[in-house]
Amino acid sequence: MNMVVRPASLSGDREDLIALLERNLPASAVKTHFKWRHEDNPAGPGWSWVIYDRKSGALGAMTSVFPRPMYVDGKPVLCGQVGEFAVDRCYRSLGPAVMLQRATFQPVDSGALALCYDCPPHDQGMSTFLRLGMRPNCEVTRYVLPLRSDGVLSRKLGKGAWTKPVITAANLLLSMRRVNHHIPGLEICSLNGKFGEEFTYLDKVVPSSGVIRLSRSAEVLNWRYRMRPEAKIDVLVALRGGELLAFLAFIVYEEGEELTRALIGDLFGHLLPEVGLVLLDAMIEICRRKNVVCVEGYCSEISPLKPLFEAAGFRARERAARVVAYAKSGEPNGSILNSRVAWPVGQAEVIAW
């Protein structure tokens, strides 16, 4: 075989890595996102590997692992998330993919990371793990709350004048389904500046025993939600007597005249069964004022977000991703989820924005 895997240099291979990403993961801001992920990450630089042709030296595929501070059964540890899996067309076979996937285990095997995980969204992405004898630790489902029917009904009924009363009536019915939740003394407001140390304190005092969850220190949150390139991420906070109880981060995507959707990126804090519903109500009201068509949220079966979404009127749709973890043990990912430790996965764990 002429294909060889080697560690990539984020300085020496930088331009070649960015070109490889631009060929395979087209986006408008590959360079700025590359800097944000690799250089600005408060957890430090990650690891990247490339497949190159031994004869020509040309790069044909790459992948990375980004460090992510997490808690495992109450203990703060450094973990990693796999990303930037980009493969040129001529290398798209199971052999190179398995070679790259094996490379992502190296930081765990060396002891640099407690675990690493990947979130393949489809069966094709799972094929490398199946070849390695690995199975998903959990599945993530997309939940949707429709707020307007304009786009759906226009596509089904056309844009004739007679469809307008139908759309108006449907939107009225959607608005009547809302149930507003209220907690006396709870204040909901927007966070317009940076995350302060009160978020670091909240991260430390929210129980993490018996679960795997992300760290949400102020440093991490500012990187995720304030430094991310080309994104305006809204944050709502819940306060009681001036004390921070919880927060919700979301982003509104404008995708055309008739399609605007909102995506919940994070919902975390104390008393989520009650406070989380009030935060969701406040976010939904903001989305209504912006004529958002639907709100989307993602979580696993055992996530505390699932009953929140259901209570707020969200409905489960399709499977969006599977989470596959690897830890240094006798068997691949055999000790990550056991009888003592659960992994309630949400959108914050799946996408690093």
- For the stretch 137-155, pLDDT in tens is 999 999 999 997 555 544 5
Is residue 20 situated within a structural domain? yes
Residue 109 sits in the same domain as residue 145 = no
Residue 259 sits in the same domain as residue 208 = yes
Is residue 134 situated within a structural domain? no
- Give the range of the structural domain holding residue 309, as residue numbers without chain letter: 141-322+330-350
Residue 259 has a pLDDT of: 72
- DSSP for 84-109, please give it: EEEE-GGG-SHHHHHHHHHHTTHHHH
Residue 113 sits in the same domain as residue 228 = no
The rounded distance, in Å, linking the Cα atoms of 237 and 198 is 11
Is residue 132 situated within a structural domain? no
Per-residue pLDDT tens for 212-264?
999 999 999 999 999 998 788 999 999 999 999 999 999 998 876 567 899 99
How far is residue 136 CA from its own chain's centroid? Answer: 17
Query: What is the total count of domains within the chain?
Result: 2
The rounded distance, in Å, linking the Cα atoms of 326 and 331 is 9
Across residues 149-169, what is the average pLDDT? 51
The tokens for 316 are 């489960």
Residue 147 sits in the same domain as residue 273 = yes
Is residue 130 situated within a structural domain? no
Residue 160 sits in the same domain as residue 52 = no
Per-residue pLDDT tens for 250-303?
999 887 656 789 999 999 999 999 999 999 999 999 999 888 999 999 999 999
Residue 174 has a pLDDT of: 47
Is residue 86 situated within a structural domain? yes
Q: What CATH number does the domain containing 32 carry? A: 3.40.630.30
Residue 101 sits in the same domain as residue 154 = no
Residue 284 sits in the same domain as residue 205 = yes
